[in-house]
Amino acid sequence: MPKRRADAVRNRRLALDAAMALLAEPGTPLTVEAIATRAGLGAATVVRTFGGKDALLDAAVSRLLEPVVRRARDLRAVLPPYQALRTFLGELIAFQAAHHAVNHELGGLHLPATTALRAELVEAVTDMLDGARREGAVRDDLDPEVVTVLISETALAVARALPGAQGLGEAYLTVLLDGLRPRVSDGGTG
Amino acid sequence: MPKRRADAVRNRRLALDAAMALLAEPGTPLTVEAIATRAGLGAATVVRTFGGKDALLDAAVSRLLEPVVRRARDLRAVLPPYQALRTFLGELIAFQAAHHAVNHELGGLHLPATTALRAELVEAVTDMLDGARREGAVRDDLDPEVVTVLISETALAVARALPGAQGLGEAYLTVLLDGLRPRVSDGGTG
DNA sequence: ACTTAACTGAAACGTACATTCCATTTGAGT
DNA sequence: ACTCAAATGGAATGTACGTTTCAGTTAAGT
């Protein structure tokens, strides 16, 4: 049980805040050096505190993702499934657009905490889809698991392209949700 | 007017072929060293022949993209717009899935020839969409330009995720094209 | 105030690249 | 066969990183 000095605790938070800030800014290098400078620390301190750059990013991304997961659960608890889905997707796209570095630079990294949170997000969306399907608001002639993947991947792509195309988010939600409507021959029970 | 020796011409083609081969293989480093080894050449030769790694990749990606552009034009000339669109999108996704390195590693690069070919692809898709809209096969309550961006970005994302999800391509086309159908209140003239 | 273990960061180091150098080899015109 | 500019590739160089080292600094208990 090692003693933890107060300045170490403070610096850990500074590094985390700096990393989160850089993740929200496009075109920034996202190097240890950049994070350390932003935090007013030395690069060595930043790395040592977290045990490596990857662990730092894992922690930072997790902190960014936590409120999103919470929001998904809240919406699912408060709104009917279809409305929850529509609302959440809109917010998710906005969040990803504001933090696209989160998804852009982190492709080939193994970040345990982040991966776990993503799984929770997927679970929440899956639940919303299930509910919407039972309501008859979403077609049931497609593999639910595939639809979940479809939404996750396309929503991310749309978010990435959002800054360059006005109205893309709205068009995406419109096309996606209309495309997910039951076909006339479907057996919606709502 | 510099003389061009036969071995230089041959080696240029070898390097190009090697680069194209590596672009079709996932998980490969895509370094100059790897390309040179695959081509049976030294790294210096590969770089010097093209004037830099970027120029080499530009040439290789362009060669990969050329037949796709040709195919888009052929389909547009032979099939009705909506069918051409559906067919081409399916093939485009398959192509991108088979060459996802093309889109994965080349995000932050400035590749003139590649960019020009991409523009031609976008133009072909735009034409198909316009035609389909006039046929009444595609809704006209959305900004055409935005719809083009939407399709480009999401098709690419789906292609990237294809290896991990069976049936994703079909589900994507189904949802997208159903979502693009005219709404009942639309003024389709077909 | 003293002590000491935790902590710090500038500099050194390791690594993975693209690129350039240059002594050597080779194609091609004579 | 001879010549020489073109071409080659192993080695050297440059660059951008993440990580480690270590002499010095600082928090915190006594």
Residue A186 CA, distance from chain mean position: 32
pLDDT level of residue B190 (50, 70, 90 thresholds): very low
pLDDT for residue A185 = 66
pLDDT above 70 (res B48): yes
Between residues A11 and B1, the one the model is more confident about: A11
Q: What percent of chain A is predicted at pLDDT more than 70? A: 95
Residue B186 has pLDDT above 60, yes or no: no
Nearest Cα of chain B lies from the Cα of A128 at a distance, in angstroms, of: 17
CA of B6 to C1' of D6 (A): 10
Residue among B107, B147, B167 whose CB faces A171 most closely: B147
State whether residue B156 sits within 8 Å of chain A by CB: yes
CA A129 vs CA A66, A86, A173, A181, B7: distances in Å: 21, 10, 14, 11, 60
* Mean pLDDT computed over A122-140: 97
| Residue A6 beta carbon within 7 A of nucleic strand D | yes
Distinct helix (H) and strand (E) counts, chain A: 9, 0
Q: Is the pLDDT of residue A81 over 80?
A: yes
DSSP secondary-structure letter at B99?
T
Q: Output the CA torsion A154→A108→B166→A147 (10° steps).
A: -30
Q: Report chain B's C-alpha Rg in angstroms.
A: 20
Give residue A63's identity as a one-letter amino acid code: R
Average pLDDT over residues B24-37: 93
Quickly state the pLDDT bin for B188 (edges 50, 70, 90).
very low
User: To the nearest whole percent, how much of chain A has pLDDT over 90?
Assistant: 81
Minimal CA–CA distance to B187: which of B140, B131, B142? B140
Q: Say if residue A64's pLDDT is above 60.
A: yes
State the pTM of this model: 0.90
Within 10 Å of residue A148's Cβ, how many Cβ atoms?
18
Contact B171 A107 (CB under 8 A): no
Report CA(A130)–C1'(C24) in Å, whole number.
70
How many Cβ atoms are within 10 Å of A126's Cβ, its own excluded?
16
Q: Is the pLDDT of residue A103 over 80?
A: no
**For A176, which residue in chain B has the nearest alpha carbon?**
B179
pLDDT band at B137 (very low <50, low <70, confident <90, very high): very high
